[in-house]
Structure 1
Amino acid sequence: MSHTSSVQSQLSVIPLKDILPWATVAGLLSLIAIYFVSSEQGGIAVFDGTNVHEFVHDARHLLGFPCH
């Protein structure tokens, strides 16, 4: 039982204020990536042409998004 208590005493808790900025950036980057993979060059397009569509084409099929 002393082994368990020594392991628990070595664990430290990371405060939410330290995690929140990183989680926010990771969430925004994830949303941007999902947008480009799922709908860019579809019904809504930020960029002209088909370059973005061709760049993420295989990722669309891998993730199950229809594109044609």
Structure 2
Amino acid sequence: MDDKIKAIIGFILIILAIVSYLASSLYQTLETIGTALLLIFMAMVLGVAGLLMLWRYLPRIL
């Protein structure tokens, strides 16, 4: 794939991480604490993956 496409995928992953983290703040009751933790974990994984993709492919574009 082209480096620009990979950088765009990195931005999309970061946006998904932000949305996932914001969605986890909706689950504040004790019954859904597992869902909130899962969404926070997904946000961390997506955020790290997005940052690593940007860190690797953005300097090649610029």
Q: Scaled by the length of structure 1, what TM-score is found? A: 0.36
Higher helix share: 2
- Larger RCO (CA under 8 A, 6+ residues apart): 2
Q: Which of structures 1 and 2 has the bigger CA Rg?
A: 1
**TM-score scaled to structure 2, two decimals?**
0.39
